[in-house]
Structure 1
């Protein structure tokens, strides 16, 4: 099984995360913030309906939204670009200029102004990039943390189980990394963080996954670096299912000095 290096780059100005290897699953949403309705830039014929007034293709109600998300997850389909909204009545009040901005956001993968529309009351904008990355705007940055924790644990589980034959041994389950450790990592997201599973090593029963700052140099995602250049390591110890992060202090001190 080939390992995938994860990538997270957070833009604090417009609240988007550019990611690789961080999947979207419905279990990550706090129920309060699960999209009520969504506008789709594109979708299979069997999903959605066209709104007569705006000509947007929409999923109207949480059941339709969940069905669409879960089918994409189950079948590995490429998910459409989408934006959530609270009510049809307010969505119908979008001006021609706002509709143009929304269409531009879907097709150019960037916002002309804010990606958060007052009339939509949206919490998210989900965009699939041509380079294989995903760009997701979050009204609340913390909503990303649970998704990151779950995705990271799945990649660790795949790594641990990569040489286990399904007929001979039960696969090991990895619990998500605690959110307080994700928060500890989060200052590095702004610098473009590569979580390097390809250079992960195991010593006794502990896995060490090096962390590198690559900013927006995406060619570095698949390039191996000297481990001495790592800004830290994520450590997962199989016995006791313990997580920890090591050697982040110097990098965080440097970032603090730069902002002073």
Structure 2
């Protein structure tokens, strides 16, 4: 089966509220980064294939300064192979990391799971980002859930902007920009985000007044090939609900099918 290039019109989200992480398919590092309301800080790299990094002697780990993140994204190194990091505020804080914390960081990057929740007081990190195939299977730990809702709301709006909704009379695509989905709208999905949800931009509906993005509850998956198979089967049935953008008032709303 083809990878996420063939399924770029879907987003899978599975939320684990107890352990503060989200598993996703269809969201890349670049999309995640651009969606954040507060820009990323410096990145401590646990697994990567990037050569133009800084090296921290005390931890024996590479890192990227926040002013280097844009250049890193443009080079696209994160798209190939393992890419795991935690953010940190101040390079001096890396000097204070002790053996136990370093062991937890190395375990996090190697096993793609935590020993204890990966939010380190000395680093003051907001995220832990873990993937072996960016965009296909991502696992992100969020210290603050508002970061997750704001990120998802921005990504959904950006994805809709990339869909070919309208064309001009000579056939050129019109690039549309939509406001992020408000976190209060996304909160209505809390009960199903923990079950595994797919938003489909392939099966969107549009009219003069609104755009509807259908979603299906597909289940809890760690294997994205299985998730896609289950989604394709489930999508043959009526959607469980719709995320709706009202073109006139330029606002989002959510409707569940009964």
Q: TM-score range by the shorter chain?
A: 0.7 to 0.9
Report whether the alignment pairs 1:211 with 2:208: no
Report whether the alignment pairs 1:236 with 2:213: no
Give distance in 2, aligned partners of 1:243 and 1:29: 18
Structure 2 unaligned blocks of 5 or more: none
Q: Is the 8 A contact 2:23 2:139 kept in 1?
A: yes
Alignment match, 1:223: 232
Give distance in 2, aligned partners of 1:53 and 1:108: 22
Pick closer, same or farther for the CA change 1:164–1:118 going to 2, 3 Å. Answer: same
- Per-residue CA distance 1:63-94 (angstroms, 9 max, x = gap): 23x434xx41x454426311112334442232
Secondary structure at the residue paired with 1:208? strand
- Name the count of aligned residue pairs: 240
Give distance in 1, aligned partners of 2:197 and 2:161: 20
Give distance in 2, aligned partners of 1:179 and 1:198: 23
Q: Of 233, 251, 254, which residue of structure 2 is paired with 1:245?
A: 254
Q: Is the 8 A contact 1:116 1:139 kept in 2?
A: yes
Report whether the alignment pairs 1:142 with 2:143: no
Alignment match, 1:51: 56
Alignment match, 2:110: 107
Alignment match, 1:155: 159
Pick closer, same or farther for the CA change 1:26–1:5 going to 2, 3 Å. Answer: closer
Report whether the alignment pairs 1:28 with 2:36: yes
Q: Is the 8 A contact 1:207 1:235 kept in 2?
A: yes
Q: Is the 8 A contact 2:210 2:244 kept in 1?
A: yes
Give distance in 2, aligned partners of 1:75 and 1:163: 31
Structure 1 unaligned blocks of 5 or more: 251-260
Give distance in 1, aligned partners of 2:176 and 2:70: 29
Alignment match, 2:183: 179
Give the TM-score, by structure 1 length: 0.78
* C-alpha RMSD of matched pairs (Å): 2.9
Give distance in 2, aligned partners of 1:206 and 1:241: 9
Give the TM-score, by structure 2 length: 0.79
Give distance in 1, aligned partners of 2:168 and 2:102: 51
Report the CA distance between 1:210 and its aligned residue.
Answer: 1.9
Report whether the alignment pairs 1:67 with 2:65: no
- Per-residue CA distance 1:208-227 (angstroms, 9 max, x = gap): 22221122244243514356
